[in-house]
Structure 1
Amino acid sequence: MGPKVKEMPVVSKMFCSSTQVVLGVRTRPHVVGGGGFVVTDLHSHAVVFRVDGCGVVGKKDQITLADAYQTPLLLIRRKGGIVEALSLYKQWGGYAPDYVGSQKLVFTLKDPNACFANNRPVRVSIEQKDESIYFQINGYFQDKECSIVDSGGNVIAQVGVSKEMMETKDLYHVVVKPGIDQAFVVGVIAVLDYIHNGSTRC
């Protein structure tokens, strides 16, 4: 038996696997339910997550992530206002509903503001036990060739298109490393999809 995999639960430890997981992402056309995408386990072909874009949710700059049973896991929305207009980054927050019905901030994604971009990377942070853990996006999500990298330079998830899928960008895969919360990874991908005018956008 090998060493125990260190889990990094962000949404829930039930989405952390002791082995590497390959997820398939299939975008839904805007005409079917208003956009979003479905995430399946490429090994079992079972649906794992569903992401609804603002066409379904009915609010601009808002996305929801649910599990296979349509149980809400994350509400993702953009933090707007005058502060953002003057900021180097546009900010998105991923919120988990708790048992009291309020919302807890799970992660923050900072997308470089076009006016100040200057090749700044997309940054993601999570708050855990009195510490902040930082990640950044390397590569180009619009080409479905990018990775989520932690502050130590370790790739925790990789987005790509396999050769048999080359014909379309509507179907791509995400490799999630052992111990990493798959719901968190899919939440980050949902924001990247929206930023790059993907299927989650109205």
Structure 2
Amino acid sequence: MIAKKNMLPIISKLHCSSSQTLLVVRKRPHVLNGGGFVVIDCNTQRVVFRVDGCGVRGIKGELILREGDGDALLLMHRKKGMVEALSIYKKWKGYSLGYEGSKKVAFSLKEPNSCLVKNNSIRISTKPRVTSNRGWDFKISGCFPDKCCSIVDSRGNEVAQVVMKKEVEESMETKDFYHVVVKPGMDQAFVFGVIAILDYIHGETTIC
């Protein structure tokens, strides 16, 4: 068993593994089912998560992360309107969903929306906070469109990596598959909630 102090259950401890996990993301085409993607555990070949893009939801700036069996875990919603247009950040919030339809904020993500931002990396804050010495808990390092990026905590530790495996690069379906490595103890539901938002930001399969 992984030590409790090394777990980061931002959405649920049920999605924290005691070992490093390799998962593959398979995109769903818009023309068939409105977009989004599925996440498969490379060891078990089991579908762990599904993400409904806004083509499925019918609402721009709204995404849902579901468990493999279809139960909703996380709603991701982008702040809209004049407030966002005037802000130096574009803001998203991730809400964990209870079994009875209740929801509570699990994290917020800020995407720079202005050249006035000194550091243009995407920053993520959790609720409750997992660090106390900065105004953020995680940031995105690298280039998501190239599938070469990481989620890094405020201490500089990589908690998850988005990578393009060599065997995928050599296939004809490179754009439809990529891998994600999640470190021990990290909440996989949180990781793929963040990845769903990155996918939307960069105009990939979740956007409508």
Length-normalised TM-score, structure 1: 0.93
Provide closer, same or farther for how the CA distance between residues 114 and 129 of structure 1 changes in structure 2, counting only shifts above 3 A.
closer
CA contact (8 A) 1:161 1:169 kept: no
Residue 135 (str. 1) matches residue 135 (str. 2): no
Q: Can you give the 5+ residue segments of structure 2 that lack an aligned partner in the other structure? A: none
1:127 deviation in Å? 1.4
1:186 match: secondary structure = helix
Provide closer, same or farther for how the CA distance between residues 56 and 174 of structure 1 changes in structure 2, counting only shifts above 3 A.
same
1:201 match: secondary structure = coil
1:192 to 180, 185, 198: 198
1:143 match: secondary structure = coil
Residue in 2 that maps onto 1:176: 182
Provide closer, same or farther for how the CA distance between residues 153 and 199 of structure 1 changes in structure 2, counting only shifts above 3 A.
same
Alignment of 1:1-202 (within 5 A): 4=3, 6-114=6-114, 116=116, 120-128=120-128, 134-166=137-169, 167=171, 168-202=174-208
Q: Can you give the 5+ residue segments of structure 1 that lack an aligned partner in the other structure? A: none
CA contact (8 A) 2:95 2:107 kept: yes
1:142 deviation in Å? 0.6
Provide closer, same or farther for how the CA distance between residues 128 and 118 of structure 1 changes in structure 2, counting only shifts above 3 A.
closer
The separation in 2 between residues aligned to 1:144 and 1:129, in whole angstroms, is: 28
- Give aligned-pair identity as a percent: 55
CA contact (8 A) 1:135 1:149 kept: yes
Counting strand residues as a fraction of each chain, which structure ranks higher? Answer: 1
The separation in 1 between residues aligned to 2:194 and 2:139, in whole angstroms, is: 11
